[in-house]
């Protein structure tokens, strides 16, 4: 089959890889009809190379049709249309029953000290082949895949794999009070969708980004927007009675602009051999912290910071004095897809209150994936969300 594979820093390949096959009785094979490029895929493109091998199949946002199932996947007959959550979870262990599917005890990558295995996302998370491909092997298919109706286009449901539950969890974790205000840092796919969900729930939303097209897109849905700059925290306080917003969602993560020390650390790590890079990144502070530091500065005293952008360093400095003094709450983590999917599904109707049908900015053949990564990484051509089609 054809697939997108990691070939090196900023180098994505398109070509033949072995067809997936049933390996366990709880496996399914899904024929992919659409697969998204996620903002966290760009971390693989740019920073996380030490945890990848040449030829690793990328991608973790998948919708498709069940082609074949193992003997213990009775609930998914061939022909069912399904969305595949980005994490692999069993649904029955202690963590899954707590609604913490990203900590699934059946699929935890214990040799790396990490949580549940993820599709297409490095040795840290099990090095499971991903879904930017013609077919995907889905472990734990007795639980994971979400059945969706035939008929509407893939755009209606594909975001259940990651974007929707991640943005939903970001808003849940933000703990915004009734009538409250949330600032969203970064208006890429997750930040954009978090804004839409927060607006749908009746909150006041202030969005911050550097890219004019992203700011303009958010404004069309009623978001108050500000261009990122040195005084943006003061601007937000000016709009919130001098206090700051009740909550801040950091939807940027480890590659934030305005973090020269973090950028130098990432570039220095990139010059080391892979084995040394892995050790360095697991023990050193290599994240660009501007977005998180801005969130700490901006949020009102007693407020909440919801971290949804991916961070990767183990020794990044935090302003603990300020966090403690302001009595802030920090909530974070990979989204627990099946915990939220039932609440989200009723919104994926023909009324389309979250405007998912027009969320993608680019629809491209899978073969154009390498160029699509470059365009998305450079924030060029108005790229916010790219869907690939085998």
- Checking if the pLDDT of 250 tops 70, the result is yes
Q: What is the mean pLDDT of residues 305-310?
A: 89
Instruction: Report the alpha-carbon distance of residue 123 to residue 136 in Å, rounded.
Output: 18
Which tokens go with 126? Answer: 């099990």
DSSP reduced 3-state for 368? helix
| Band of residue 325 on the pLDDT scale cut at 50, 70, 90 | very high
- Give, to the nearest 10 degrees, the angle between helix 189-200 and helix 163-174: 60
- Binning the chain into helix, strand and coil, the percentages to the nearest 5 are 35, 20, 45
| DSSP code at position 300 | P
Higher-confidence residue of 28 and 48: namely: 28
**pLDDT exceeds 50 at position 283:** no
* Helix (H) or strand (E) segment spanning residue 307: strand 304-307
Give the pLDDT band (50/70/90) at residue 225.
very high
285 band by pLDDT with thresholds 50, 70 and 90: very low
Calpha distance 351→347 (Å, rounded) = 8
Question: Do residues 194 and 206 make contact, with C-beta atoms less than 8 angstroms apart?
Answer: no
Per-residue pLDDT reduced to its tens digit, 257-272: 444 444 444 444 444 4
Distance CA 289, CA 295 (A): 10
pLDDT digits (tens, 9 = 90+) for 162-205: 999 999 999 999 999 999 999 999 999 999 999 999 999 999 99
How far, in whole angstroms, is CA 278 from its chain's centroid? 22
pLDDT level of residue 254 (50, 70, 90 thresholds): low
| Residue 274: band (very low, low, confident or very high) from pLDDT cuts 50, 70, 90 | low
What is the Cα Rg of the chain in Å? 20
Closest by alpha carbon to 180, among 293, 299, 292?
A: 299
Q: Where are the alpha helices (DSSP H) in the chain?
A: 39-46, 94-97, 154-157, 163-174, 189-200, 212-219, 232-238, 260-270, 274-283, 290-298, 320-325, 337-344, 369-377
pLDDT of residue 261: 42
The pLDDT of residue 54 is: 95
Q: Give the strand order in the sheet containing 204-209.
A: 224-227, 204-209, 181-185, 247-250, 304-307, 329-332
pLDDT, tens only, 335-386? 999 999 999 999 999 999 999 999 999 999 999 999 999 999 998 999 999 9
% of the chain surpassing 70 pLDDT: 90
| Residue corresponding to tokens 């009595």 | 327
Q: Which residues pair with 81 in a beta bridge?
A: 65
- What percentage of the chain carries pLDDT values higher than 90? 81
Q: Is the pLDDT of residue 256 over 60?
A: no
The pTM is what?
0.90
| Residues 149-174 pLDDT 10s | 999 999 999 999 999 999 999 999 99
User: Could you tell me how far CA 372 lies from the centroid of its own chain?
Assistant: 17
């Amino acid at each position: 089959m054809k697939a997108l594979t990691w070939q090196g820093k900023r180098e994505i390949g398109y070509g033949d890889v072995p067809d997936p096959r049933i390996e366990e009785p709880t496996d399914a094979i899904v024929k992919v009809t659409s697969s998204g490029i996620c903002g966290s895929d760009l971390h693989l493109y740019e920073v996380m190379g030490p945890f990848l091998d040449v030829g690793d199949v990328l991608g973790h946002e998948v919708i498709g049709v069940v082609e074949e199932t193992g003997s213990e996947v009775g609930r998914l007959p061939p022909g069912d249309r399904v969305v595949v959550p980005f994490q692999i979870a069993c649904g029955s262990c202690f963590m899954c029953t707590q609604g913490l599917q990203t900590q699934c005890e059946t699929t935890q990558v214990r040799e790396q000290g990490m949580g549940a295995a993820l599709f297409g996302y490095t040795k840290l998370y099990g090095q499971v082949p991903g879904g930017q491909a013609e077919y995907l092997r889905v472990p734990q298919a007795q639980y994971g895949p979400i059945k969706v109706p035939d008929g509407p286009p893939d755009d209606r449901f594909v975001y259940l794999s990651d974007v929707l539950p991640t943005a939903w969890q970001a808003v849940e974790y933000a703990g915004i009070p009734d009538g409250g205000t949330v600032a969203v840092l970064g208006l890429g796919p997750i930040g954009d969708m978090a804004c839409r969900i927060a607006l749908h729930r009746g909150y006041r939303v202030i969005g911050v980004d550097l890219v004019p097209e992203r700011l303009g897109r958010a404004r069309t849905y009623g978001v108050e927007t500000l261009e990122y700059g040195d005084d943006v925290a003061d601007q937000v306080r000016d709009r919130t009675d001098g206090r700051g917003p009740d909550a801040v969602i950091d939807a940027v993560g480890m590659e934030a602009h305005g973090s020269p020390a973090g950028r130098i650390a990432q570039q220095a790590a990139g010059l080391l051999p892979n084995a040394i890079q892995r050790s360095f990144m697991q023990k050193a502070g290599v994240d660009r912290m501007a977005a998180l530091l801005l969130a700490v500065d901006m949020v009102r005293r007693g407020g909440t910071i919801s971290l949804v952008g991916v961070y990767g360093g183990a020794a990044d400095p935090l302003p603990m004095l300020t966090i403690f003094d302001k009595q802030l709450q920090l909530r974070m983590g990979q989204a627990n897809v099946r915990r939220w999917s039932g609440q989200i599904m009723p919104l994926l109707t023909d009324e389309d209150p979250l405007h998912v049908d027009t969320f993608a900015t680019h629809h491209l053949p899978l073969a154009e994936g390498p160029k699509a990564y470059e365009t998305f990484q450079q924030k060029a051509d108005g790229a916010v969300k790219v869907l690939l089609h085998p």
